[in-house]
A and B are shown apart, each in its own frame.
Chain A
């Protein structure tokens, strides 16, 4: 059974720092991995989707990498801003059915 783990559970950094969020999964037979952002009381905003054949994806200050063989993905946020404060979730898509399996998230707080 696929399990997705995110470390750390919470992270607090000063504004301007570069930071890395980690996601690991137990079964490397995934089709893609998606990073989301969730603001309090809100839905999920898709940030980046990495296909299983890809190594990384970039969008603005965000860069996500995928290493299927080791079962790991990282989300790199450059020059963090207070507006980046949110919970970041990773989810893997496996099998033919297409439902996502989520980690429990990393709650990020960026202090001004």
Chain B
């Protein structure tokens, strides 16, 4: 598609439950990025993929967070045993290639509320 698609739009989970978010990048884009936006507009980079390979995971809280980008499937971000502090909007972005000439295009986000 021509836009980054994210599902679901909203997700509510009780503390300790699992949450799974999905992202379909723009067709033809090789790179996918996940960002977390918490209150006060603080964006935090989580992980990036080059096709199905992890490119950079320096921002991932590895204890409970995992992500995948499998061929012919939407990318996913999974949070095991959610905590209240995981409440945020999770954005996915894609770019055609890696490099400063290539813009990152963002999806509409998934709002996760942990109660």
Contacts and interface: CB of A to CB of B under 8 A. Distances in A.
Interface of A: 31-32, 34, 36, 42-46, 49, 51-52, 87, 89, 91, 93, 97-102, 104-105
Contact of A34 (B48, B103, B107): B103
Contacts of B22: none
Contacts of A42: 108-109
B56 A99 contact: yes
A43 B109 contact: yes
A39 to B, nearest CB: 10
Interface residues of B, number: 29
11 contacts: A31-B100, A43-B107, A43-B109, A44-B91, A46-B104, A91-B43, A98-B55, A98-B95, A98-B98, A99-B45, A100-B33
Contacts of B35: 100
Contacts of B48: 97-99
Contacts of B91: 43-44
A17 to B, nearest CB: 23
A102 B43 CA distance: 6
B100 A97 contact: no
A87 B33 contact: no
Contact of B56 (A31, A46, A52, A97): A97
A51 B101 contact: yes
B59 A99 contact: yes
Contacts of B108: 42-43
A11 to B, nearest CB: 14
A52 B99 CA distance: 12
Interface string B54-76: 01101100000000000000000
Given A43-B107, A102-B43, A104-B42, A93 B56 contact: no
Given A42-B108, A97-B48, A32 B41 contact: no
Contacts of B109: 42-43
